């Protein structure tokens, strides 16, 4: 499975909170080329399904990398990040890079979520910054995400299930 995942095209999906405009979602070519190429498309959040579809279509180079299944998985990821930005204003940045495209959708291999400093009583999980999949707070973060998005099929919290 790991070899199959490693061979797929890589996409970056993210959200940031601009001080003037508010939450912004972005999508583009990911992996090690993300910063060098800077080929992304962005939109103010929240986005509707139709807006997410247009955003992904607008991202340079994405159309050449996707099948119908992987396109839908990218759209779904953008929608989840948009909802995360709106529902959790303490999150100031979230990046999934790479989101590796495969024959059945996409797998988030690495993600970063950065939260503003909150009083301990208001924190979703134990740290203000956690790298999902690498931090000791992974279990707390995945539990918080599952509670925040109960309609998502969380069979594997790090795999985007585009069949829903």
- pTM flag (> 0.75): no
β 10-18/91-102 pair status: antiparallel
3-state secondary structure of 56: helix
- Give the structural domain span for 119: 2-160
Cβ neighbours, 10 Å, residue 92: 19
pLDDT value of position 150: 58
Whether residue 80 has pLDDT greater than 90: yes
Q: Percentage of the chain with pLDDT > 90?
A: 41
β 111-115/40-44 pair status: unpaired
User: E strand or H helix at 86, and its extent?
Assistant: helix 68-87
Of the pLDDT bands very low, low, confident and very high (cuts 50, 70, 90), residue 106 is confident
Residue 79: closest CA among 69, 87, 67, 90: 87
Look up the CATH number of the domain holding residue 59: 3.30.470.20
Number of structural domains the chain divides into: 1
Of the pLDDT bands very low, low, confident and very high (cuts 50, 70, 90), residue 122 is low
């Amino acid at each position: 499975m790991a070899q199959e995942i490693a061979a797929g095209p890589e996409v970056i999906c993210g959200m940031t909170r601009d001080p003037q405009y508010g939450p912004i979602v972005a999508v583009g070519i990911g992996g090690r080329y993300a910063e060098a190429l800077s080929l992304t498309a962005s939109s103010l959040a929240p986005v509707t399904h139709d807006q997410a579809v247009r955003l992904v279509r607008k991202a340079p180079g994405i159309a050449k990398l996707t099948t119908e299944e992987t396109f839908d998985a990218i759209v779904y990821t953008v929608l989840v990040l948009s909802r995360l930005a709106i529902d959790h204003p303490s999150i100031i940045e979230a990046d999934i890079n790479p989101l590796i495209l495969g024959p059945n959708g996409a797998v988030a291999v690495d993600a970063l979520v950065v939260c503003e400093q909150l009083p301990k009583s208001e924190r979703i999980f134990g740290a203000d910054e956690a790298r999902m999949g690498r931090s000791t707070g992974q279990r707390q973060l995945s539990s918080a995400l599952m509670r925040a998005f109960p309609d998502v099929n969380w069979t594997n919290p790090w795999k985007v299930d585009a069949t829903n």
